Amino acid sequence: MSRPLPPETEELLDRRRRLLGPNVSTFYEEPVHFVKADGVWLWDADGRRYLDCYNNVPHVGHCNPRVVNAIAEQAARLNTHTRYLHEGILDYVERLTGTFDDALSTAILTCSGSEANDIALRMAEAMTGKRGIVATDATYHGNTTLVSHLSRSNVPEVGFGLGQYLRHVEAPDSYRISDPDGQRFAAHVQEAVDDLERAGAGFAALIVCPLFLNEGFPEQKEGWLRPAAEVARRAGGLLICDEVQSGFGRSGSHFWAHQKQGVVPDVVTMGKPMGNGHPVAGLVTTPDIMARFRNSFRYFNTFGGNPVSCAAAMAVLDELEEKGLQDSAAAMGKLAYDRLSELAAKHQVIGNVRQSGMVFGAEFVRDRDTREPASEFADKVVNEMRRRGIILSKLGRHKNTLKIRPPMPFAAEHLDLLIKTLNDVLASVSPHG
């Protein structure tokens, strides 16, 4: 049972509804009102401290001093739109593309991951002359008219009839669907490609997050995506890897998650963690694709890649490197897996534990034999954790998997607090009713 909300919370919710319109989502039965943050900690308006186990935007820690100073210094010197010459964007793109395979040497900077994905799809059309796009049925790629169609949960009732160009394939699910080598997924991609060809749209691109994070970060061995990538290539389409969540070292083993999958995509999109909260995003691609796009569309983005954004993004790379945060993500992922597995030994409701570096979680089931998802239970756990000062969420095909995806400076002492609190919550929340 949810409790009555404090009057201040009700008042803020009323103002949101009045000023922002209905149906603007907030997290939790008792929405939180944060007023400040530092590292992996957040404080609410009453001065209560919360451990952030969820937010990947403050990648190198909330209010990271290096990033804050870089933004302040550049904002105090110069910030313009992007039609003047400036070294900031060139220095950044040089450094960024240095983290990719040699073939991926050019970039476009944008303000959001959605814009980057939108451009990637237009690149696919420019390269292939076709429009058909394949994505998974449990993904999210953004909010522009075009990419919002890729998310089934958006249920677009209006949208220029773009639905005809899309096909959804079953999202991978290592706990319920046996597909050890990615062959089953590849076969589904092939069916979708054939269907698009028959319908006359043709096939332009396969777009996936290489860790399938929104889908529930299934366990996959290295190179799992290769068969699907081969299907896309053989059919003459592009492979677009959406690394908006999975990039910048989060997987621990690699700086970019497609490297773990053993593929070199045609386009890689990125965003969220890129500026640690400053709105900078973008994509990298090959010179050929870039030239075809630039010659097909006159693309200009007023804010994308402005000097302040580039200073923020550069500071994020510096911080990742100097603090060794990718290595620490690898170590924390393994430790979290062990600690969550200990909890699974005590709590029947945990059916499966998974990690992909600094993304980890437990999948809740009503019965370990049938693997029936315990989605409502997951909801209760997330709300109870929030009451006890731990910020996390849930995701996956059945919305029954804890989504624990903290800022990269999350360390062993934070994991201790998370696990202890989760253990208490699992003991107190009834798995039935």
- Cβ closest to ligand PMP, residue 214 vs residue 261: 214
Q: How far is the CB of 144 from ligand PMP (least distance, A)?
A: 8
Q: What angle do CA 277, 63, 403 make, to 5 degrees?
A: 60
How far is C-alpha 122 from the chain's CA centre? 21
Selected range binding ligand PMP among 63-71, 168-176, 240-248, 338-346, rule: CB under 6 A: 240-248
Q: Between residue 110 and residue 129, which ones bind ligand PMP under the rule CB under 6 A? A: 112-114, 117
- Cβ closest to ligand PMP, residue 82 vs residue 112: 112
- Cβ closest to ligand PMP, residue 60 vs residue 350: 60
Closest CA to 405 of 365, 360, 373: 360
- Cβ closest to ligand PMP, residue 69 vs residue 302: 302
Identify the DSSP state of 3: P
Q: How far is the CB of 66 from ligand PMP (least distance, A)?
A: 22
Of positions 249, 265, 271, 407, contacts ligand PMP by CB under 6 A:
271
- Cβ closest to ligand PMP, residue 28 vs residue 43: 28
- Cβ closest to ligand PMP, residue 56 vs residue 355: 56
Per-residue interface string for the shown chain with ligand PMP, residues 127-146, x marking contact by CB under 6 A: -------------xxxx---
391-430 as b/e, with b when 16 or more CB fall inside 10 Å?
bbbbbbbbbbbbbbbbbbbbeeebbeebbebbeebbeebe
Selected range binding ligand PMP among 80-88, 106-114, 125-133, 161-169, rule: CB under 6 A: 106-114
- Cβ closest to ligand PMP, residue 13 vs residue 57: 57
Q: How far is the CB of 364 from ligand PMP (least distance, A)?
A: 22
Q: How far is the CB of 239 from ligand PMP (least distance, A)?
A: 15
Q: Is 172 in the site for ligand PMP (CB under 6 A)?
A: no
What sign does the dihedral 326-331-332-336 (CA atoms) show?
A: positive
Contact between 52 and 40 under an 8 Å Cβ cutoff? The reply is yes
Q: What angle do CA 410, 225, 140 make, to 5 degrees?
A: 60
Q: How far is the CB of 116 from ligand PMP (least distance, A)?
A: 8
Type of residue numbered 269: T
The HSE-up count of residue 364 (CA atoms within 13 Å, CB side) is: 25
Q: Which residue's entry shows tokens 């034999």?
A: 369
Q: Is 230 exposed, middle or buried (0-12, 13-18, 19+ CB in 10 A)?
A: middle
Per-residue interface string for the shown chain with ligand PMP, residues 245-264, x marking contact by CB under 6 A: x-------------------
Stretch (H or E) spanning 270? strand 267-270
For ligand PMP, how many residues bind (rule: CB under 6 A)? 16
Residue 355 β-bridge partners: 360
- In the chain, what is the greatest distance between 2 CA atoms, to the nearest angstrom? 62
Q: How far is the CB of 392 from ligand PMP (least distance, A)?
A: 16
| 346 φ/ψ angles, rounded to the nearest 5 degrees | -95, -30
Q: How far is the CB of 115 from ligand PMP (least distance, A)?
A: 7
Q: Between residue 280 and residue 299, which ones bind ligand PMP under the rule CB under 6 A? A: 281
The residue ranges that bind ligand PMP (CB under 6 A) are 112-114, 117, 140-143, 209, 214, 242, 244-245, 271-272, 281
